[in-house]
Amino acid sequence: MEIIPQAGACLMTVNAWEGRAPVRWMLRERSNAPVDNGWRIMSAADSSEYLADSDNWRITDFNDACEIEP
């Protein structure tokens, strides 16, 4: 489903992506690449240590993230 046309990609934690915990935080940073819309989506279960590990993040289409947690 395309909620926002050409919304680009975002970073989402694995906990949020896999539905282990609900989304708690969304923050927008300056994008790192043209396809990056700057959104970072984190779950209620994510600790500072968890967020610091790049293996715990996924690049995903922003519209797909909206379907997981509308």
CA distances from 25 to 11, 12, 28, 34, 42 (A): 12, 10, 10, 23, 5
Which pTM does this prediction carry? 0.89
List pLDDT tens digits, range 8-25.
999 999 999 999 999 999
List pLDDT tens digits, range 38-59.
999 999 999 999 999 999 999 9
Print burial letters for 21-42: b (CB count within 10 Å at least 16), e (below 16).
eebeeeeeeeeeeeebbbbebb
Beta pairing, strands 36-43 & 9-13: parallel
Which amino acid belongs to residue 4? Answer: I
